[in-house]
A and B are shown apart, each in its own frame.
Chain A
Amino acid sequence: MVEPLRKVSKKHGLYRRRAEVQSLLERLDLVEAADRIGELVDAGGELRANVPPEALVHFIRRAWREDDAAALERLFKALYRRVQASLAATIPNSRMADAESIRGEIVSRFIDRFARDCRENGLWLDFYEAQFKRALAAFSTTVLRSIGPSTNKTTPLMGDGEHSDENELAPEVQKAAAEFFAEGPSFFDDPTFRSALGPAINTLPPDQKAVIGLWLQGIPIDAKDPNTSTIARLLKCDERTVRNRRDRAFKALRKILEEVKSNAAK
Chain B
Amino acid sequence: MPPSDPSSTEEEVLLAFAVEPQRDRSTLERYLAQYPEHTSALIECALELMLLPTEISPVWLADSAIEAGWQQFRTQLGTRSERPAENPFATLSPAAFKTLAIRLCINNLLLLRIRDRGIRAASIPGAFMRQLATELGAPLKAVADYLAGPPCLAPSSAFRSPGKPAAAGQVDFSDAVKTSQLTVDQQNRLLAMGN
Contact = CB atoms under 8 A, between A and B. Distances in A.
B90 interface: no
Interface string B81-119: 001000000000000000000010000000000000000
Contacts of A120: 137
Given A64-B77, A90-B48, A138 B57 contact: no
A51 B74 CA distance: 24
A176 interface: no
Interface in B169-191: none
Interface string B130-151: 1101111111110000000000
A89 B57 contact: yes
B41 A145 contact: yes
A88 B60 CA distance: 11
B7 interface: no
Size bin of chain B's contact surface: 35 or more
Contacts of B138: 121
Listed residue (B33, B74, B138) with the most chain A CB atoms within 10 angstroms of its CB: B74
Interface in B62-83: 66, 69-70, 72-74, 76-78, 80, 83
A203 B45 CA distance: 15
Contacts of B10: 142, 145
A100 to B, nearest CB: 12
A233 to B, nearest CB: 10
A32 interface: no
A126 B131 CA distance: 15
A144 to B, nearest CB: 8
Contacts of A85: 56-59
A150 interface: no
Nearest to B67: A77
B126 to A, nearest CB: 8
Nearest to B142: A67
A138 B18 contact: yes
B37 interface: no
A81 interface: yes
B117 to A, nearest CB: 21
A12 B29 contact: no
A28 interface: no
Given A65-B133, A81-B59, A144-B44, 16 more contacts: A1-B130, A1-B193, A6-B103, A9-B4, A12-B1, A67-B139, A90-B52, A107-B69, A137-B48, A137-B49, A137-B52, A141-B48, A142-B10, A217-B25, A217-B28, A219-B28
Interface of A: 1, 3, 6, 9-12, 15, 45-46, 62, 64-67, 73, 76-77, 80-82, 84-86, 88-90, 107-108, 111-112, 114-116, 118-121, 124, 127, 130-131, 133-135, 137-142, 144-145, 188, 191, 194-195, 197-198, 201-202, 206, 209-210, 212-214, 216-219, 229, 234-235
